[in-house]
């Protein structure tokens, strides 16, 4: 993520639309192919229940954060992952 100004996993420019960005992030989060990252056994079978934490790094407006939450829930549902709780706010900032 690069919260201390590290480069992060990758840089994208120009900033992609939110729905594409969310898909990219979920691919990274849910990938089962990388043994160093794929430790979350999400099967996408419709039986997976998760708690979603959307963290504001500090500079995102409430309105935008709401949009991000909505997009994340929609994308997760489409992947057969049910979101049972949402925690969204400014928890870890840079």
Partner 1 sequence: MPGFSLTLLLLPSSPSTAGPTADVILRLLDANTSAPGWKWTSGAAPSAPALPPAILTPERTANQAVKVRAQDVQGFARAVEKACNALDKAEPEITAMDTVSGDGDCGLTLQTGAQGMRSHRISVNVGSYDLFVYIAVLARLRAGSISGEDVVGALIAVSEVAAEKMGGTSGALYS
Residues recognised as catalytic? 4
How many angstroms separate the CA atoms of 64 and 66, rounded?
5
> Using CB under 8 A, which of 36, 58, 63, 80 touches partner 1?
58
> Using CB under 8 A, which of 12, 53, 63, 80 touches partner 1?
53
Interface positions, 14-43, toward partner 1 (CB under 8 A): 22, 25-26, 29-30, 40-42
How many angstroms separate the CA atoms of 47 and 81, rounded?
7
Residue bearing tokens 């309105």: 63
Six-digit token pair at 37?
């990252």
Which residues are paired to 90 by β-bridges? none
Interface positions, 74-93, toward partner 1 (CB under 8 A): 74, 77, 81-93
The answer to whether 37 and 68 have CB atoms below 8 angstroms apart is: no
Contact residues toward partner 1 (CB under 8 A) are 1, 22, 25-26, 29-30, 40-42, 47-60, 65, 68-70, 72-74, 77, 81-94
């Amino acid at each position: 993520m690069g919260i201390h100004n590290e480069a992060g996993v990758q840089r994208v420019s120009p900033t992609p639309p939110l729905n594409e960005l969310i898909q990219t992030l979920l691919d990274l989060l849910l990938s089962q192919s990388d043994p160093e990252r794929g430790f979350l056994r999400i099967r996408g079978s419709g039986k997976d229940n998760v708690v979603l934490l959307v963290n504001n790094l500090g500079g995102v407006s409430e309105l935008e954060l709401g949009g991000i939450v909505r997009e994340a829930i929609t994308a997760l549902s489409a992947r057969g992952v049910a979101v049972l709780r949402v925690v969204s706010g400014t928890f870890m900032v840079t």
